[in-house]
Chain A
Amino acid sequence: MSLEKFVKKHQDVFDDKKMPEAASIDFERRLKKELHQDSSKVRRLPIITYLSVAASVALLITIGFWYQNWQERIDIRDNLVSALDESETNSSRLEAIYEIEDTYANEKEDEKILKAYFKILHDDSDANSKSAVIDALLKFPNNALVRNELIEALGNEKEPLIQLKLIKSVARLREQRAKAPLKKIIEDEESLPLVKGNASALLAMLNQ
């Protein structure tokens, strides 16, 4: 018998090996990993869902905390603004001005606080409060409304100490629009010579 025929006749002897049973589990795992990515995604879906829920809860807590914090800040601000009201004592108002300055030292100007400051600036308030408010307003030299209000206050103010403070303020701001109120102070017979002198000096500087 030829070798070829012999081997063909006994082919089964060459096929005597069996794949180990454990290999099936390994293969199924590999098959799922390499060809069933979508199925994996489906299995991961609950994890993603849990993560989404957890993230949403965390976001809600953060928003809640932020809102609570924001609401507290609003309350504090409103209380401080209330303390600026003319019905309060001069000391409590001054204390409130300094408290606001400290609390909002590095923050953008707050419209409600500015309005309260402008009220103090224009009303018949005490000099200390007005002086403190002018210092507070000068923290926002680029705010057009603040500049307008300081110029307007310069034209209306009768208290010499505050007049001098306002003249120095508009000098720092280099406001050309301050010329009219400065002339008004200079021409006012009731203005103190010291005030007139400072006003004349600033007018001369602005006219240069």
Chain B
Amino acid sequence: MERPELIKACKQNNLKAQMQVYQMYKDMLYNVSYRIVKNEHDAQDTVHDTFIKAFQNISKLENDLNLGPWLKRIVVNSSLDFLRKKKKLGWLQESYEFTESIEEDDTYEDITLKVDEVKKAIYNLKDKYRIIMILYLIEDYSHKEIAEQLGLKEGTVRNQYIRGKRLLKQQLQNSIAL
């Protein structure tokens, strides 16, 4: 089934079409969710919640080409909601509100980056840095979008991101030193 027909069929609550969309996007959404919730089982549940919500609201999808990004937005929201329900976003209230921006002076030019180590280091960061870095670096959210998503000031998100980068660099330097 071609994409426009597939989406049209989904809008008509066609089970076969819905399962086809599920097969097309399940892994992509699973990875997005896993990066946020850091648990395979929780990521699976969140992805399933995402598809149900998406199929319930697919009539709101105006441009068929936006299906992937639209699903990604929903899974990010669902994953963050999951963490909120699990009270794992308590750090949002504790986030220090920066009045002045920290200067971004971390170039990473001085260290040799190895992708597996970078990935591992990101996952090792505390949630308050990791989630912002994931959304910015991998999910292509702007600082402003992250701020809106998390209910933080844009300056706070920007500064948390810089802090995260510093912490990440620190970790990577330590691993090289070892």
Assess whether A15 is in contact with B31, with CB atoms less than 8 Å apart.
Answer: yes
Q: Closest CB-CB distance, A5 to chain B, in whole Å?
A: 9
Assess whether A27 is in contact with B48, with CB atoms less than 8 Å apart.
Answer: yes
A side interface size, CB within 8 A: 29
Q: Closest CB-CB distance, B33 to chain A, in whole Å?
A: 9
A19 touches B (CB below 8 Å): yes
A1-B109, A34-B52 are known contacts. Are A7 and B15 too (CB-CB below 8 A)? no
A7-B138, A13-B116, A31-B55 are known contacts. Are A18 and B30 too (CB-CB below 8 A)? yes
Assess whether B108 is in contact with A6, with CB atoms less than 8 Å apart.
Answer: yes
In the complex, which residue of chain B has the Cβ closest to the Cβ of A5?
B108
Give Cα distance in the complex from A166 to B113, angstroms: 123
B26 / chain A contacts, CB cutoff of 8 Å: 19, 23-24, 27
Assess whether B115 is in contact with A16, with CB atoms less than 8 Å apart.
Answer: no
Query: What are 17 contact pairs spanning A and B, CB under 8 A?
Result: A2-B108, A3-B108, A4-B137, A6-B113, A10-B118, A14-B31, A15-B27, A19-B47, A23-B44, A24-B23, A27-B48, A30-B48, A30-B52, A31-B52, A32-B15, A35-B55, A36-B15
A1 / chain B contacts, CB cutoff of 8 Å: 108-109, 113
The contact string, 1 if C-beta is below 8 Å from chain B, for chain A 175-186, is 000000000000
A26 touches B (CB below 8 Å): yes
A6-B108, A31-B19 are known contacts. Are A26 and B56 too (CB-CB below 8 A)? no
Q: Closest CB-CB distance, B48 to chain A, in whole Å?
A: 5
Residues of B at under 8 Å CB distance from A? 13, 15, 18-19, 22-23, 26-28, 30-31, 34-35, 40, 43-44, 47-48, 51-52, 55-56, 106-109, 113, 115-116, 118-119, 137-138, 165, 168-169
A39 touches B (CB below 8 Å): yes
Give Cα distance in the complex from A32 to B16, angstroms: 11
Main SS of the interface on chain A? helix
A142 touches B (CB below 8 Å): no
Give Cα distance in the complex from A16 to B28, angstroms: 9
Most B Cβ at <10 Å: residue of A4, A6, A8, A19: A19
B40 CB contact (under 8 Å) in A8, A10, A17, A34: A17
The contact string, 1 if C-beta is below 8 Å from chain B, for chain A 30-60, is 1110111001000000000000000000000
B138 / chain A contacts, CB cutoff of 8 Å: 7, 11, 14
Assess whether A7 is in contact with B137, with CB atoms less than 8 Å apart.
Answer: yes
B23 / chain A contacts, CB cutoff of 8 Å: 24
Assess whether A36 is in contact with B13, with CB atoms less than 8 Å apart.
Answer: yes
